[in-house]
Structure 1
Amino acid sequence: MGKIDNKCDQQTEVTNHSEDIELLRQKNDDLQARYTALFRLNQLSQECDELNHFYAQVHRTIASLMTAENLFIVLYDQTFSLLEFVYYIDEVDECPEGKIDFADYEGSFTSLVIESKQPLLVTPEIDQQLQDNALVKEFGVRGTDWLGVPLLHNDLVIGVIAVQSYSESVRYQEADLKLLTFAAQHVVGAMVRLQDQQRLKNAVNARTKELMAQIREREKAEVLQESLYKISELSTDVNLDINTFYSSVHDIIGKLINAKNFFIAKYNIEEELLEFCYYVDQKKDDLIEEFKPRKLSNRFSELVLRNRKTVLLSYEDMLELYKQGKTQKPHKNIYSWLGVPLIYSDKLLGVMVIQSYESKTMYTEGDAELLNFVSNHVSAAIKRRELADFERRSHELLEQQVKLRTLALEDEITQRKQAEKLLKHTAAHDSLTGLPNRTVFIDLLSHAIASRKRNTDFSFAVLFLDLDRFKVVNDSLGHHAGDTLLKIIATELQSIVREKDTVARLGGDEFVILIEDIDTQGEAFDVADRITEFLSQPFTIEDQLVYTGTSIGILFDDDRYDSADLMLRDADTAMYHAKDSGKGRYEVFDASMHKKVQHALSMEADIREAISKQEFIPYFQPILRLDNEELRGFEALARWQSDKRGFVYPNDFIPLAEETALIQAIDMQIIEKACQQVRTWQLDLGCSELYVSCNLFSQQFFSSNLPNQIKRILQRSGLAPKNLRIELTERALLENTEIVLTNMQALKEMGVKLLLDDFGTGYSSLSYLHRFPLDVLKIDRSFISNVHEHDNHRAIIKTIVDLATNLQMATVGEGIENLADAELLQQMDCMYGQGYYFAKPMSAVQASAYIQEKIQSNSILK
């Protein structure tokens, strides 16, 4: 019996040993399968070109480890609280489309995984428990088992991968949960790499398109620049025959536009005569008869001369003008006609015309704009050629005179007198323009004051001129171009005034004029009007059109003046008043201007005192989602509650505060008070996601201490960095870029979001959008105001929204004042907006009531 028992025990041990071996083999197979799957997942980012292919490969790999007929991958954007189902295979439900607000999915199994950062296995029993505790809601068709795990990157949830069964035959266990968690850990790395590759590819493609467009525009500009340079060269060759000159101009224009039929006609203003100095035509049989000089009539060239504007006509347009009695009947073989005036220094020189006898050649508005641009340079070339011919004839005449007077000029006494005269002139006149200098002008003005004292009927006026945009000319074209412009203006100013009046240059771009012996003040106004009109016209400097203008201060004689310096000071004050009032105008000095200066000094002192008293307070304007008007945050705007002045609006103190650099202290006051207020709302009203957006003057970003200032404000207020947004303008990005970039990166690392304010009105360059860590673009109100009435504004806004989307930035539309604009912005995928249509800036008390209304209507992100 003992032997039999012993044999049974041995057989049992063999059986158990076999089972152990089979179990180990099965575990080894499972482990091998896991490593094979891991290896496959690590290969996917190198093998897949697109994320869509990658997600499908992930599905197949997971399906090789477990039953996964129904699988989806959803990405989570924590910054904007958005969900996007990027992969979705389900035998029952359809894939949710587009990006979805996370708040709309609260109570789903997916939201539980995201919020907990933990894997979740939901069986029917667990599902019932969650429903009983009101932790979940119904989303789609309920299956049997649901299994989801978070996709974690740097301890942040960036998405969820989930599988689901609709059959009792397919049930998930803890082993499946561990297996899917294991797979998800290795999916994230490959997925992030592919996402980065896709973003880089998108950025490269966008930049490539931009560069190709720049290259094409640069090629066009180079051809045009070369043509203009050749035209300029022709005008300087005095030995070139005049007919060859015009023929060469024709050849150059022909390279820019189809100009087979071309003529230039000069306008003789004294005789009202049109003289054809050059013409080429394919269809005219008798060119001499057709292009002989003629009195002005009702032809199409005269239409250009009378309007002093470019005229672009089709045959139908020409026939309509004929029917209206404005022109003679056109030739039937003309398909397209384009004429531009030749104007130099506001003087009409003639007309330049091209015309087409072929239906395939029809001139466009672009051709008209190009020919009109070229005409300015042709006009300048013709005028320079005429001046060169005149100078050549004058030079020849001068040579004859020099020969006749050689003996006299060699006389030593004459030479000494001329030298003395030159020295006196140099001492009394500006070396650049030849105008009297400040010393001479002060003497003449003192003499006028004395004459007024002796004779009260004697009246005079002083005009103080300062050129607008003169610095732009110097900076862009160089000081030589600026000097040329000053000499042209000096000459023209002398021609505008009477011989007995004096034009002087004080220095830089400042001129003064003494108008003596006037009968009425209107005479001074007339001179100022003519000067303003003259300087509003463009100048051609070194083949470039230059635009300037002037601000003029006018001062009339008054018995209270004894000092020329005092009169000059008050005229200068009037000039600055004109410049502050909009430039391109003149202002007459009065006592109120002194008061304005005194007011500015008083205002500056009060601002400094207000800063020390903490009188500046934030007003809050809501920022809402455009699709449902859900409140997301506020922009804090500076207001001044002054003990002395009462409530002061920003337009009354901000310009002066910026000019005196006091705005920096005001900005910090507003940020700190706004942060404190928002923190109070969060605690009292339970709206923890509410944020505030504050403006910073551009020079704030030039200080390396800025991040520490913001950090201390957040610490004192208790507001989380994610609830603060800083707005800056493009100007800050264009100056001291290294320190600005360093400060922005420090704020980003802190958790503060950065907004670019007034985007679209400045340089709007892609280069700094790529370089600087911006989160949001704020579209300037100038594009949004009544955008539904402006197609070009819509195109600009759509471009900005698409650009921001490609760069993973959000967009906020400013200045929305009506429903139509709000709806149109939403249709163009602009997500957020603010403006008077929703709410005006309001005090903290008013804003509290506004928030409570939003809470009651469930229209606020909590």
Structure 2
Amino acid sequence: MTKAGIQQADTGCNDSNGKPQDVTELAKAFAQLQQENQELQARYTALFHLNQLSQECDQLINFYPQVHRTIASLMTAENLYIVLYDQTFDTLEFVYYVDEKDERPEGVIDFKEFEGSFTNLVIESKQPLLVTPSLEKQLRDNYKTKSFGSRGTDWLGVPLLHNDEVIGVIAVQSYSESIRYTEPDLHMLTFAAQHVVSAMVRLQDQQRLQNAVNSRTKELMAQIREREKSELLQESLYRISELTNEIELDINEFYANVHNIVGQLINATNFFIAKYDKENEMLNFSYYVDEKSENLADEFKPRKLANGYSELVLRSKQSLLLSYQEMLALYQQGKTAKPQDSTHSWLGVPLIYSGQLLGVMVIQSYSEKVSYNQQDADLLNFVSNHVSAAIKRRELAEFERQSHELLEQQVKLRTLALEEEISQRKQAEKLLKHTAAHDSLTGLPNRTVFIDLLNHAIACKKRKPAFEFAVLFLDLDRFKVVNDSLGHHAGDMLLKIIAAELQSMVRDKDTVARLGGDEFVVLIEDLESKEEAFDIAKRITEFLQQPFTIENQLVFTGTSIGILFSDDRYDNADLMLRDADTAMYHAKDSGKGRYEVFDASMHRKVQNALSLEADIREAIEWQEFQPYFQPILRLDNQGLKGFEALARWQSTKRGFVFPNDFIPLAEETDLIQAIDLQIIEKSCQQIKQWQEAFNDSAIYVSCNLFCKHFFSPSLPDDIAKILQNTGLKPESLRIELTERALLENTDIVLANMQALKLMGVKILLDDFGTGYSSLSYLHRFPIDVLKIDRSFINNVHEHDNHQAIIKTIIDLATNLHMATVGEGIENLADAELLQQMDCNYGQGYYFAKPMSASDCASYLKAKLG
């Protein structure tokens, strides 16, 4: 500035006396300048602190509160929040939130939920926003915003920008008129936000890197643990294999070492190994440790195979993993015994070597802290293969050791006494010959020996025509009942007793042999008269009519005997056995407990049966079997309910064939199953037509099924296909089965019955009262109706004992919510008596005989109008 300028300036600043015009204004200007310098210094310090935070903070959760404190040092910021925006998923997350009135919104929130908020405006505009009360009213009047949370005075928010994209918002809010925000506050918060973004991005990248490192570390640790587990498993398997070679190791120590090795892989505090004795159907516990059992010897003593969980493993030959609830469910289904209340988890695996079932290995837990899973099951199953191999190799090694010791002993014995060795060898050969020629259970000669002896007798007859002999073919009656009710062990005991008695009844020169099962044969040689054979047959028949005591229980059986005398027409033993067998079946068909002599008529009967079987097969193919319908009526008002469909055969070759002439053979040859399905399909077609013709959908048909249908898993599909083809509703079909079906293969029978019930088909139990009539299957099986057998119904008004039986059956059915049908009602007195005893339905000749479809249509027309 020039001197003149300076003078001019001085002149302008001084009054006439040369003093300053306004010292106060200069002081104020200086104070304002000093305040601005202090504010700049504070902002610099705050921003410097933010930069430091970006370097010093290691986690975002620690970073946000310090950002709040730093901003609060620059402006009033009692209420502040930081919200992150994810553009990809269009979501918001309030990562930091301090507010004196409102609670922090939790979790990840859909961005649309905050539509109309100030935060929404900042994100969409990418611009800072200072909302005063007047601006708020203007925005609300223009429908730009709507209320979120408590209403405040001023709201100030700025976007967090990274690479020109909004990644969030930082906002402060005032609820007091004394605290108002200005444009400088807006600029300061905007400037600070950029430093916050830089720190956030760095910390987010660092956190993502740390997460990736942590994830990779977990993977590596898992791989290390898996490698260590694999090494432990490999070491365990090696140790199990090594045990096999320690022949001197006591067997109990061997199993204890196996237990210890398994215990290093899985919690096996409670552990046992049971070996399976297939020949005797026994389970022998070779090793056991159990923390809950008070008397281990009783708990783990050898037992017959029963309904234990170990038996489930043996039968399925698969691993079985069960919780207590699953064990209890199996018990409630009747499949197993009741589990111990203390059992929490149970795991069993089969021990199998080269396809041979050796036994079962089991671990179980009584603590809720130890629950086995499928990984444990897979591991134990894998280990079991090596344990099985070790056990088998040890058995073989032990056998080899024993064999070696025996061989050494034999060498010594041979050295000391050659004669004794020769004697023993002859004894062994004799024993081997006896074993090869005799039945292992009874000790009787077997089929092979008997065939040789019979062929020898035939040859003698050829050389000496005067030589006479006879063959007695025996089959025990009701032997299957003994096996089913008392078990195979009782059946074996009965066979042994009978075999011994049969030998005592014949002469020394005669031969008793067992062919197999419950079949025996007797060769009576050098007969002087046929009466000798009849006498032996009579004594055998009378003996077997007496009861036997098996395991403290009386057992009744009997026998049917076929007698065949020698004849020049026989050239070989097989033909003679065939005809003797035919005579035996003739005796069985004639009433059992008797004997019959073979004659040519029996052979013709067999030939006729073969011819009849061939015709039945053709009749099935030609659809010759037709249903006849017998009405089933309500006994209280004789209203028609439905029909029972009965199979009838109008043969193109034989004419009308009565059911008793073809059904027994059809059942014996299993052809009855095809006949049953044919009758059901035709019956369903006919009932569907009648329902439509008479406008009565309540008419149903009841069809009989042979028991073997229920042994087939395809039964529900077969019935469903018939119903679909005929269009008949399942509710219009009833299926009848006899008690015999409930005594075998109960699991598949129950499954089939339940499937039919689920379909809507009702189940009827036919001929009730004549079989075993066990209450257990009435409770277990889903039966809807009991059909009282006609043997009780016929002239029941004259038989008090039959009335008592029928009343008991009706009361039983009522209590079990089952209906009852009386079969074979032939007079008014029986019908009225059954109705008085609350029997629901009836059928029989008194109401109507079985009718053809055409006759039945007339009956329906008369009955239904």
Name the TM tier (shorter chain): 0.3 to 0.5
Higher relative contact order (CA 8 A, sep 6+): 1
User: TM-score by structure 1 length?
Assistant: 0.48
User: TM-score by structure 2 length?
Assistant: 0.48
Higher Cα Rg, which structure: 2
